[in-house]
Amino acid sequence: MISLIAAIGKNNEIGKKNSLLWNLPADMKHFRDTTRGHTVIMGDKTFESIGKPLPNRRNIVATLDKNYKVLGVEISNNLQKTVAKFKKSSEEVFVIGGAQIYALTIAGADRLYITHVEASFPEADAFFPEISSDIWEEIEHKKHIKDSENPYNYTFSVYEKLTK
C-alpha cells in the first residue's frame, strides 16, 4: 500500500528552497507517529534537507544520480519500479516528498495523510498535487486551533482513493 504524507498550505504549498514554510510541532509529531516503523520514500533533495536517515524507519532515497551513496539509506534509481514493488505489499509505505516525488507517485497512491495548514504562503516554490474529490474521499478530519506552540489553525485529514 502506498500512502503520501504532507503538510500543505491553502494553495497546496509545501516548501521553499528545500525547507518547510512553517513550524508546527504538532504536525511533526503527527508525522513521526504516523510513519514510525514504516518504510519512507523520499527524493534526494528532501533527504538532503533532513540531513540524516529518519530513525525507526526504513529510508529509501529516490535519485537519478547513479553515484549517489549515503550511509544508512537505500538508494532507488527507479522510483516507479520501487513504488510498484511496494504497491503489491500489505505493508503501508509512505512517500514523504518532495514536490516532484509527490507528483510522480500520487496517481498510484492508495491513501493521503494531509495536514491542511490554514494559511497562504506566497513565497512557496514547491507544491503538492491537486487533491481531486473525483479521485479522493476524505475519511478522517480532525481540526485543531492554533496555540502557543502551533501558530496556525490546521486539520489532519486522511483521504482514500475512490474505487470505480
Burial of 74-97, coded b for 16+ CB within 10 Å and e otherwise, reads ebbeebeebbeebeeeeebbbbbb
Range of 124's domain?
A: 2-161
Tell me, what's the pLDDT at 66? 94
Beta strands at 58-62 and 111-117: parallel, antiparallel or unpaired = unpaired
Question: Any idea which residue has 475519511 for its cell?
Answer: 139
pLDDT, position 164: 64
Query: Could you tell me the CATH number of the domain that includes residue 93?
Result: 3.40.430.10
pLDDT for the residue 88:
86
Q: How far apart are CA 81 and CA 44, in angstroms?
A: 17
Total domains in the fold of the chain = 1
Going 153 to 13 to 16 to 70, the CA torsion angle's sign is positive
Do 112 and 1 meet the contact criterion of CB atoms below 8 Å apart? no
**pLDDT per 10-residue tile (average), the chain, 164 residues:** 98 95 97 98 96 97 94 95 91 96 96 98 97 97 97 98 84
